[in-house]
Structure 1
Amino acid sequence: MSESAYAQAAESANHIHDLLPEKLRNPHVGIVCGSGLGGLAGMLDQELLFELGYKGIPHFPHSTVVGHAGKFVFGLLGEKKTPVVVMVGRVHYFEGHSIQKVTFPMRVMKLLGIHTVIVTNAAGGLNNEFSVGDIMVLNDHINFPGLAGQNPLRGPNEEEFGTRFPNLSEAYDLSLRKQIHLSYKKLQLTSEKRKLHEGVYVFVSGPSFETRAECRFLRALGADVVGMSTVPEIVVARHCGIRVLAMSLVTNRAVLEPGPRGDSPIVEGIDEEGLRDILGAGAANHEEVLETGAAAAKDLQGLVRQFIDDIAP
């Protein structure tokens, strides 16, 4: 019989703890960096840092996505020197990992003493009121793979972490959402270029970006943004009692309009290259995600730093 998830997470957490400098052994907040957002680790006090690659941690999954470094960075953040751990690069279900393996790092964070996580991601905007570069605070989600059976809590319940049937109607902590808006106003980030919204994130398995019809379908269900991460981590975080703040950076606008028909007058006389341009207008690509993440990094870093100071004791 293989080890329980709890036993494996405990082995990983103990391994990490034994390697950490004493001043970094009790992190309070965990930060998960999405695509193009790994620069968040640069917010940490550079005088006391500890980095550990995922490959050096027992049982830990490895990230293979471009833009995801695959390491933990421990350090002190903000004026109040809050001890935190930044997860630079997450692992995804579409990489071939099981949904349980994807969420394993969250359980390790729990055993490291984390009581609050800030989870970030890059997402496609479904809501027409959202612009590229805007930030959305998650206040709910739709878990498509989870509804179809790929729930990270499927199987024997790990009683050491939480109850068999966790309630997710309040998954996104209202107190933390209230504070992020206050922190945002304090920094006076409000502008036409980068607004802060709240809304619903829909998780899909990927790795292909969504079709036009799928985007219209997801929007009709009430989703404001769509992405390939975050929700499984939230499910496991809430199962083990970790408070959650999650934010999406809108890196592209999803294409909701139907494509032109093959017998449409607008395609008459257009060559192959022109037809590709018509059909590809507005389509998402991973390079765009990384570029938008880099452009928004400064504002998002400042917002996270301010928020950490504001919730610190």
Structure 2
Amino acid sequence: MIAPTAAPPFDPDLDAQQVDEAVAAIRARTDLRPDIVLVLGSGLGALADEVEDAVVISTADVPHYPQSTVEGHAGQLVLGHLAGRPVLVVQGRVHLYEGHAPRDLGFPVRLAHALGAGGLLLTNAAGGINPAFGPGTLMLISDHLNLAFASPLGGAVARGETRFPDLSDPYSEAWREQARALALRERVAFREGVYVWVSGPSYETPAEIRFYAGAGADAVGMSTVPEAVQAAALGLPVLGISTITNPAAGLQDAPLNHEEVLEVGRQVRDRLATWVRAIVAETTLPSR
């Protein structure tokens, strides 16, 4: 049996150099300093169409940027204005199951921080564990469980990072309070709950879903947590919204499939866009 090749040790000086080179590639196209970064999940990429005066950059043209291989993730960065506020929209989310090292999952957030971002708004497509959260539910993330047992912070401390970041408020309560009020005003129905991160790419077994439910999870997915953890280490406040696209394993008779995820994402995009637009336009970014 051949042992797997170990990943090279994380070099903070090399990482800083790579982030700087990625920043330089973007600065060659635009000098916009994004206030909020929006990371878009599966089937939710159409939100980028809301951006005005957009500068669209393929992630393949950004040095050292990890590449996405998943349908529903366009692999591009969009910089411009949404509701009058400077934003960076990430349509190039990467996942652990694509073969990326945990540190790579945090690279887009380290890049956003270096570009001057003040806050991170994460969206994702998730399976519903809470039986009250049916397909099409928008769930404001209150907390998470890391059951992928991985972190983008392993190894040496990168530039600007805290060695032991506090995660007592990973999805800013102050920001969530503002988001709740805007959802009520805009008549966007939502729930609030705990998101559990698993490594994927296989969907979960019914036994696993029962275990996650017993641990307090309301929704399950394969992203978001590493970005939130990386943001915490850099002092960036985070807001998270899940689109519940399907009942999790054991909660419906039909097999789970990615096409269902994309279709429900398309169905809710107008409601999600209304909410996100209001959040971007009117919320005050809290400090960590």
Same fold per superposition (TM over 0.5) = yes
Question: Which of 230, 233, 237 is the equivalent residue of 1:239?
Answer: 233
Tell me, which stretches of 5 or more residues in structure 1 are unaligned?
Answer: 190-194, 258-279
Q: Is 2:82 the partner of 1:88?
A: no
Higher Cα radius of gyration? 1
| Matched residue type, 1:188 | R
Q: Where does residue 186 of structure 1 map in the other structure?
A: 185
Q: Distance in 1 between matches of 2:275 and 2:210?
A: 31
Query: Is 2:109 aligned against 1:106?
Result: yes
SS in structure 2 of the partner of residue 76 of structure 1? strand
Distance in 2, Cα, partners of 1:309 & 1:143: 31
Q: Please provide the CA RMSD for this pair.
A: 1.5
The 8 Å contact of residues 253 and 282 in structure 1, kept in 2 or not, is answered as no
Aligned residue number for residue 5 of structure 2: none
1:37-56, Cα deviation, whole Å (9 max, x unpaired): 000101112xx110000000
CA displacement, residues 266-307 of structure 1 (integer Å, 9 cap, x when unaligned): xxxxxxxxxxxxxx8233210000000000001101110011
Does the 8 A contact of 1:49 with 1:73 survive in 2? yes
8 Å contact from structure 2 (residues 129, 218) kept in 1: yes
Q: Secondary structure at the match of 2:148?
A: helix
Contact 2:139 2:192 in 1 (8 A): yes
Aligned-partner SS, 1:14: helix
Flag structure 2 segments of 5+ consecutive residues without an equivalent.
1-8
Q: CA deviation at 1:115?
A: 0.8
Equivalent position to 1:302, from 274, 277, 282: 274
Deviation string, structure 1 residues 61-116 (Cα, Å, up to 9, x no partner):
111101110000111111xx101010113111101111111211000000000011
Structure 2 counterpart of 1:248, one-letter code: S
Q: Distance in 1 between matches of 2:164 and 2:187?
A: 41
- Structure 2 residue aligned with 1:281, among 247, 253, 261? 253
Give, in whole Å, the separation in 1 of the partners of 2:122 and 2:111. 15
TM-score normalised by structure 2 residue count = 0.92
Aligned match of 1:54 in 54, 59, 67?
Answer: 59
Distance in 2 between residues matched to 1:214 and 1:296, nearest whole Å: 27
From 31, 41, 46, the equivalent of 1:39 is 46
Q: CA deviation at 1:162?
A: 2.0
CA distance in 2, matches of 1:187, 1:122: 22
1 CA distance for matches of 2:56 and 2:50?
14
For the 8 Å contact 2:67–2:92, the answer to whether it is kept is: no
Report how many residues are paired.
275
